[in-house]
Amino acid sequence: MSTVGEALAYAARGWPVLPLWWPTAGRRCACTDPECGKPAKHPVGRLVPHGKDQASADPVVITSWWASCPSANVGIRTGAVSGLVVLDVDGPAGRGSLRSLVDRHGRFPAVWVRTGSGGWHAYLAHPGVPVANSVRHLGDGLDVRGDGGYVVAPPSVHVAGGRYRWQSAPPSELPSVPAWLVELTMPPPPPPPPPRPVCLEGDMAPYVAAAVEGEAREVAEAPRGQRNNRLFRAACRLGEFARAGTLSEASVTAVLLAAAADAGLGEREARATIRSGIGRR
């Protein structure tokens, strides 16, 4: 099938496509930029000035693009817009990294494309939750093309001369991204905000001050599911100082309320927990 024929077939599947620059006979990018950083892989700017954001599944638009540039490579938009995620497995390092992941997590069903450089692209169905593009922490030689990305597709030609090709015809429905891969592509949670400075009473003994600061810090940094229990334990421990007259009950309450707010607990719930902990004997 011709390049434009493949592009139209992808569009018929609901995969928006875009024209990419192609390699010249001298193994350079046809864009003619001597410092091109993505030879034969970046959008043809005069046709799609907004790059991947102008990828289309409209056959009239696609036909006009390849009528203007018959040699153009094909890019497919990835992510929720196409329902497609592609794992780029680059060379021996990528194969080793993927093998290690599969050994740890389980099977990896995919539809495979041999890339023009000798690597592999694994095509998978988008899971319906955000999949970050270019997640490089999966391992050496592994890269994800998800939301906000695109991939060079068959029958495009690599600048090294090799042609991208399907290992088998893609089925009507692609295998789903494995749950373990979805989890690994999730961005890490943001770090917790630093705890607020603890306001301590002026004549407090050093060991009391250290105990108050330590309990407040542990409450502020407690993970979900443990916050209320950790607050109760802190109130019990600091309540001993209040009952001994070493520290006022108002100070204990104020310090722990601030720490509970940093942890994400509501004031009403936190106040009741603190009251219960301080009163426990």
Does 172 lie in the same domain as 237? no
Does 264 lie in the same domain as 181? no
Return the amino acid letter for 266: G
Does 175 lie in the same domain as 43? yes
Please say whether the beta carbons of 72 and 21 come within 8 A: yes
Q: In this predicted structure, what is the pLDDT of residue 175? A: 95
Q: In this predicted structure, what is the pLDDT of residue 238? A: 87
Residues whose CB is less than 8 angstroms from the CB of residue 98 and which lie 6 or more positions away in sequence, other chains included? 87, 89, 108, 139, 142
Does 153 lie in the same domain as 102? yes
Q: In this predicted structure, what is the pLDDT of residue 250? A: 86
Does 154 lie in the same domain as 238? no
Give domain status of residue 171, yes or no. yes
Does 90 lie in the same domain as 17? yes
Output the 3-class SS for the chain.
Answer: CCHHHHHHHHHHCCCCEEEECCECCCCCECCCCCCCCCCCCCECCCCCCCHHHHCECCHHHHHHHHHHCCCCEEEEECECCCCEEEEEECHHHHHHHHHHHHHHHCCCCCEEEECCCCCEEEEEECCCCCCCCCCHHHCCCEEEECCCCEEEECCCECCCCCECEECCCCCCCCCECCHHHHHHHCCCCCCCCCCCCCCCCCCCCHHHHHHHHHHHHHHHCCCCCCHHHHHHHHHHHHHHHHHHCCCCHHHHHHHHHHHHHHHCCCHHHHHHHHHHHHHCC
Give domain status of residue 199, yes or no. no
Give domain status of residue 36, yes or no. yes
Domain of residue 225 covers 206-279
Does 157 lie in the same domain as 211? no
Q: In this predicted structure, what is the pLDDT of residue 281? A: 55
Does 217 lie in the same domain as 101? no
Give domain status of residue 193, yes or no. no
Give domain status of residue 230, yes or no. yes
Give domain status of residue 127, yes or no. yes
Q: How far apart are CA 30 and CA 37, in angstroms?
A: 12
Does 253 lie in the same domain as 120? no
Give domain status of residue 265, yes or no. yes
Does 217 lie in the same domain as 103? no
Does 225 lie in the same domain as 168? no
Low-confidence ranges of the chain (pLDDT < 70): 135-136, 188-205, 280-281
Does 79 lie in the same domain as 14? yes
Q: Number of structural domains, the chain? A: 2
CATH no. for residue 31?
3.30.2250
Q: At CB < 8 A and 24+ separation, what contacts does 201-210 make?
A: 201/247, 201/248, 201/251, 204/246, 204/247, 205/246, 208/241, 208/246, 208/247
Give domain status of residue 200, yes or no. no
Strands 84-89 and 150-153, by their bridges, are unpaired
